[in-house]
Amino acid sequence: MPTDPTKPLEAKPEAAPTRRATVAAMEEILFAPQPVLDHGFIRIVDYMGDDNAIVQAARVSYGKGTKQAREDRALIRYLMRARHTSPFEMCEIKLHVKLPVFVARQWIRHRTASVNEYSARYSVVEDEFYLPRAEHLAAQATDNRQGRGEALGPEEARRVLATLRDDAALTYGHYQEMLNRDAAGNPRDPARKGLARELARMNLTLGVYTEWYWKIDLHNLFHFLSLRADPHAQYEIRAYAEVMLDILRRWVPEATAAFEEYVLGGAKLSKSALEVTRKLLAGEDVQQAETGLSPREWRELMAALGRPVTP
């Protein structure tokens, strides 16, 4: 892989004074890999701004209208609550992420970041594959085409893990053979040229690890986390989202607290769902069939309100 994360190239040999905003809690973990899954990590390469940068941007934009907000915390919470997003775009972060390819392909759907990925056309892929823990192996959910359902039994989980491990070893062995390399990375047969790296890579499994630099502003990172830190998100990408949430709690604690209060911990109601909620608060007996909500919408509303699901 491109670099040893324990010896970051970005670290300066000597500290240099700066007039830009820094966050002590971020400086403590700058460049340090935060482990995720079995071989993955997230590490902070650089960041710009802090909670105060959000407040400054809002006050420049709003002028006298913000004088009613006596505290920065109150202003940040107002911005989050009212969905005024541009002040949050004043903060940016650049991360070095190591992740399985199948997670990367899901992650890259968020097209609001700058990305530069490790290239298997130029470099040889390392022999590192993601293997789930047994408790994370589950059957296909019956009520969700994208999700997992009941956990596999111990014997079936062992068979699945053995298959994943064997397939990874087999395909990587064939990859090395096509490259004409031995386990140490040396040429096996000097008389053979070996297949081009850009072709040899195509038989590797989606569990192989890749790396990238990922730079994004805070507003779009919050949107990423609103989907990927959700309990319904796939476990593997949620594991990365939870590490990023911990980083944000260090970097912009007030903005992150507002995000967790109004977005992650809140609920957005449709017009019909709001009408149902009003009727329930008034003590009325409401049935799903008469609301115009689909069965799934009804279940989601009842779950958000902490009420038992009724037909």
* Catalytic residue IDs: 228
- 1's tokens: 């892989």
List the Cα angle 70/260/26 in 5-degree steps.
80
CA angle 288–293–298, rounded 5-degree value: 60
